[in-house]
Amino acid sequence: MKYLKAEHIKFKRTVSNKLLFIIPLMTAFFAWFVGGFYGFQYMTFYWWYAFLLPGTIAILCLLSHQREEKAGKYYSVLSAPINLKQFELAKAIILTEKLFIAATILSIFILLSNFISPALAVYSIERNVLGSFAIIIASFWQIPLCLFLARKVGMLLPVIANTLLGILSPIVFGNTVFVWVCPYCWPAKFGEIFMGINSNGTFSGHMSSSQTMFLPLLLSIFLYILFLFMDAENFSKMEGR
């Protein structure tokens, strides 16, 4: 618990917290500008998980890593009598919490269309909220991966690679059997099943609540836990360096 409190304090008055509002706002504004009221809801979701969310995850992980680097290249952490595994786990958990805050903000923006123009809203309030949180669950396995990459290879590669893979993977593998083995396809697959959004961003209208929609979420949870402990184990080895 003390590690989680420490990470919360580090986020106060930082650009990371501002991004949690700014990026969902940018996503909603661009979707409204391009799609109008009818396309606003599904285009917001599509632009969120296909373009901006992967980059947001990588940037938040990078900023978290840079805070420790600027504080003395992890010297204060490595020299302190703390459990390094728990320290790294807390960092990933707080970043996960931040993503759910961003999802809440995004769903609020999308919900505005249910009140401003209810006749043109394609999602109910319940489907909007569930979809917002489920997309985060389908994507949060990227957090421990990006933390590891930020620590190992620096600034640009995690942001570029995570963004491009998030954009290109659903386009390349979205209609193939590889969609289930490519983690970057899981948010798009959930969007297709539960929200009726095709891999190219068009709205099919075929929305389902079948059990298949849980598969991308379950796979992501498994990978998240696996990467979480692998990253924490790798970080703990810095103690002897």
pLDDT digits (tens, 9 = 90+) for 180-224: 999 999 999 999 999 999 988 889 888 888 888 899 999 999 999
Question: Rounded CA gap, 90 and 155, in Å?
Answer: 21
Please give the Cα distance from 67 to 173 (Å, whole number). 36
Facing residues of 197 across strands?
Answer: 203
pLDDT the model gives residue 94: 94
Which helix (H) or strand (E) is 96 found in, with range? helix 84-116
| Percent of the chain clearing pLDDT 90 (strictly above) | 53
- List the domain range (segments joined by +) for residue 150: 2-240
The domain tally of the chain equals 1
Q: DSSP class of residue 183?
A: G
What's the confidence (pLDDT) of residue 232?
A: 92
Lowest mean pLDDT among 71-80, 106-115, 137-146, 201-210: 71-80
How far is residue 196 CA from its own chain's centroid? 20
pLDDT at 14: 79
Note whether 231 and 92 are within 8 A (CB). yes
Q: Which of 118, 121, 126, 67 is nearest to 94 (CA)?
A: 67
pTM of the model: 0.92
- Integer Cα distance of 234 and 231 in angstroms: 5
Q: At what angle do helices 186-195 and 214-236 cross, to 10 degrees?
A: 160
CA diameter of the chain? 62
Position 45 scores a pLDDT of: 96
Burial 212-237 (b: 16+ CB within 10 A, else e): ebebbbebbeebbeebbeebbebbee
**Least-confidence region, from 67-71, 87-91, 150-154, 228-232:** 67-71
* pLDDT tier at 26, thresholds 50, 70, 90: very high
Q: Own/partner pairs for 171-174, CB < 8 Å, 24+ apart? A: 171/199, 171/200, 174/199
Amino acid at 157: L
CA distance 136 to 99: 7
- Could you give the angle at which helices 125-139 and 15-47 cross, rounded to 10 degrees? 110
Q: Say if residues 163 and 122 touch (Cβ distance below 8 Å).
A: no
